[in-house]
Structure 1
Amino acid sequence: MLDQKLTPHRTALVTGSAGFIGYHLSARLLAEGWRVIGLDCLSPYYDVTLKERRHAVLQESAEFIPVIGKLEDPGLLMQLFAEHQPDAVVHLAAQAGVRHSIDAPRDYVESNLVGTFELLEAGRAHPPAHMLLASTSSVYGANTEMPFNERMQVETQMSFYAATKKATESMAHSYAHLYQLPTTMFRFFTVYGPWGRPDMALFKFTRAMLAGEAIDVYNHGRMSRDFTYIDDLIAGICGLIEAVPGDAPVSDRDSLSPVAPFRSVNIGANAPTPLMDYISAIETAIGIEARKNMLDMQAGDVPATWADAGLLQDLTGVSAKVDVVTGVRNFVDWYRDYYKA
């Protein structure tokens, strides 16, 4: 038996709506006729002006309702669930960044753990048809067998950021089991594209190269990532909104829990790209050869990621369509326009 499918929803609650992924998801849902409640605290982790600009674009639609506040603010999420009765909840807000988690781990406890607890409590009190929460490829940690698939053991996280995201998976599973809350966790793989995050490599490399500065290349370039273009990621999320976990697996690749309406799903390109090839795509898009500082591996980082995206395709029919060269060029074009570079 295939999982039940939802009829089109009217209201979605998107946490992290001023963030890179939250902005693109909210824009897509609005275009598809949804009413979107967007919660964001406009954290100063990176340029707040960029977040405000994203929200300003979304507010061009009368169906977008912005709410400024923190996930962990007691009662805020409970109030939003009670007032708006969202059909779907997509939880993207979190303290991101592997390296920042080494310096400021408490930020991750408050946002990722306490914030997710507040969300789950609100979902328990006012159950939506589907709860969807963002996780990360970083939960695969020290695993070396590739591609990563959702049925692997994930007990060897390499950063505190990854540990908090794995903890949210376990928290969400317990609520799905105890309260029969249909829940999907998606594990993202190095997302990039227009309106991206300034702390990510593509943004940093582009900014440095256009300023005539050298870029820092870790592990002497011996790294690879399953770079996932933002439009492909959003297509996957939108497909998964409709793929509500039921009581039977959709294929032998399914990660459906035996004791809860809960699964984890990779959203990736299923095509790992060597870091030096990624840098080459940036050089081609900009028309500048980068000066490179070749450095050792950073603490908490992993040398490679590679998503097995078969389950995503089983559930949604969605697969990656945008290659790295095209995606990088799209980002560089946006960057030059946005910053008049």
Structure 2
Amino acid sequence: MQAAQLFVGLDVGGTKTAALLVDGNNNLLGQATLPTHATNPDELLATLTRAVHATLTEADATPQQIESIGLGVPGQVEPATGIVQLAVNLNLQTYPLGPAVSSRFKVPTFLENDGRAAAIGAFNHVRQMEPVQTIAYFSIGTGISAGLVLNGRLYRGYNGMAGEIGHILVEMDGEPCKCGLRGCLETIVSGPAIVRQFLTANPQAESQIQHAGDVYRLAGDGHPVAQKVIRHVSQYLARAIQWLIMTYDVEKVVLGGGVARSGQRFVEPILRELAALRQQSSLAAKLLLDEKLHLISPDFNPGLWGAVQLAKQNVLVEAVHM
């Protein structure tokens, strides 16, 4: 294989880490998905290293061909320094992840919060179908976040934490959240929260449930406990979508993440809850339209492709701090 400039995108989640290797024309050369091990920073760095090497092996390429690496990671990210803070799902309080990856591979590494990296990928994906300028990418997985692109520009917020909707308090004295508070949205609508709620009400079904998709499957098959859980979850998801639309006046709320992979079984209960809100309010009837939702195809990983764009420093026009 002739030497070529290659770019790596990494999407790091609390459960799994995905990696993508492309050339300068975005041709896919290698990909890998590994469990995330993050008991300590060294374990996390080892996970990222294994993921990158897996893509290189598939492409019969070498580390010396990597031009740069883009990395989407949970928590508060300082893109200029590569420091990650408060990544509770990765057990990182303050860690220079960007410099650590750069040192490991001897190439520039560009970091962004995973929700915002995914927003970059989702924005460019949706723009191939329609000329939107303002979206919220609402990711529902192990964690919950919303990446924002406003007027064609990535919005990070003053502290780089814009869109951390998973840690909005919605249920006083609710379940404890990894952030230290109780009753955050994430404790109700995340994948682990959906499984927990179902098994709390139906503990004898533990052998049937591995992830949230199983609860959606059972609900679709008419299981009454699963249906009750999904109805409760969908009420809060509809409210969160309403918050995003009312707060940022976005053209689209793009839905993604592991839980959203349940497809229509995931979307249809949310649409019913949005319809109920429209019946109560003329303002909701005008703004909470079904066509404002866009479900990302399970074949497209916006976090990975956003990370690739980070690696290529193709991050919209400008990142905004307000």
TM-score, normalization by structure 1? 0.31
Larger fraction in strand: 2
**If the length of structure 2 is used for normalisation, what is the TM-score?**
0.32
